[in-house]
Structure 1
Amino acid sequence: MTTDVPRPRDREDDRHRPGRGVAVFWIVAGVLGWVVSFLLYHEYIGQLTGGDALISCDISPIVTCGPNLLTPGGNLLGFSNSIIGIVLFTGPIFAGVSALASRAGMQKWYWRTYAAFVAGAFVFVHVLAYRSVFEYGSLCPWCMVIWLVTIPLFWTVAGWTLRAGVWGSAGRGAGRILLSWLPLIVIVDYLVIAVAAQLRLDVIGSL
């Protein structure tokens, strides 16, 4: 005689859901990043064909899109990085909508995967920022909007996943500290890039 053993249900602490404000921020960041990536793609096509982009980004000899978009760094996988943005910025939108739609929350693997992709984007934009300042000697305005979106997105995702215990209970304290200092951390991150650009390129003097 056999006895049916009920399947264990997911423990409550295995599912997590960010607050409404965080979820809405992810959606807004994803939409903004997607729109700017779309504009960058059209700017890229305009650079290749000589046609007019939807919105030009040539502000000065230094603040301009062309040198960045047509470099190997601007086409990392053999095509425009803007296509990567068009695809991947749907991630924060989906994560935010999932958080708002699910009362029980999503499992840890879901948030870990999301956080890993956002971390990859964070590293990617800093690499591009470094190359823009120190190798190409120009700053792409639309690219900088992507940086402005990705940096707080990463710190928010990192802080929340740590505080929620997505990476284990040991990180909860670090997550609380990170979120409490979030505005300052984001501003310092921005300032590091801005100061490096000004010292290297004299961006203000070029305007």
Structure 2
Amino acid sequence: MPETRSRPTALAVWLVLAGAVGWWAAFSLTLEKLHVLENPGAALGCDFNVLVQCARNLDSWQGAVFGFPNPLLGVAGWMAPVVVGMAVLAGARFSRWFWALFTLGMTFAFGLVCFLIVQSIFVIGTLCPWCMVTWVVTIPSFYAVLLHSIRIGALPLPARIRSGADALMGWLPLLAVLSYVAIAVAAQLRLDVLSYLF
């Protein structure tokens, strides 16, 4: 497959920043999990009240979907966007197949995050602070990588869709904000978040 012709510098910068923030959130949540294992019943630094806390999420089966704590996925997984972003900034030009595989990885991350958002709000009934940081960076990262892969032809789609993806790149902040608003509305309707804030 031919290599992409232009360097997506803005995307690369975002991937590095989002990867760093996501990694820090995952690492912090991993430390909290280790703290709980060493001190059962101890209060966690991210437990603010009955609604905003990490403990119930970490102790639930959803907190270890694949049999080990979810934050370990983040500690390993968030390195990929950082490495890809730094490589692009250093001048690397990846082939379309690479972007297709990277999009597949980001789609997995996005799907897992969507599953955990639903579980957190509608089943567990809490909002984990470090988890929310992960949501905030995963959602726009997925949109950005998906749209970039479509516009460069890494995904076999018609030219009209590729042009649409290119145009949508400028609307990424709005897409992310609309996603955050949808999550906030769902959390408010289900958990009455505002009553805990005021």
- The equivalent residue for 1:38 is 27
Deviations 1:32-78 (A, max 9, x none): 1111100000111122222779x811111100000001111110111
Deviations 1:3-60 (A, max 9, x none): xxxxxxx6xxx1125422210110111111111100000111122222779x811111
- Cα offset for 1:168? 3.6
The code of the aligned residue for 2:78 comes to F
Q: In the alignment, does 2:113 pair up with 1:122? A: no
- The equivalent residue for 1:7 is none
Is the Cα contact below 8 Å between 1:18 and 1:160 reproduced in 2? no
Counterparts of 1:45 and 1:33, CA distance in 2: 18
Q: In structure 2, the residue corresponding to 1:15 is in which secondary structure? A: coil
Counterparts of 1:90 and 1:139, CA distance in 2: 25
Q: In the alignment, does 2:146 pair up with 1:152? A: no
Greater C-alpha radius of gyration: 1
Counterparts of 1:122 and 1:190, CA distance in 2: 14
Is the Cα contact below 8 Å between 1:63 and 1:203 reproduced in 2? no
Matched-pair identity in % = 36
Backbone CA RMSD of aligned residues: 1.8
- The equivalent residue for 2:14 is 25
The code of the aligned residue for 1:167 comes to L
- Cα offset for 1:167? 1.5
How do 1:1-207 and structure 2 match up within 5 A?
Answer: 14-16=2-4, 17-50=6-39, 56-103=45-92, 105-168=93-156, 170=158, 171-207=161-197
Q: TM-score, normalised by structure 2?
A: 0.91
Counterparts of 1:69 and 1:18, CA distance in 2: 39
Question: Which segments of 5 or more consecutive residues in structure 1 lack a partner in the other structure?
Answer: 1-9
Question: Which segments of 5 or more consecutive residues in structure 2 lack a partner in the other structure?
Answer: none
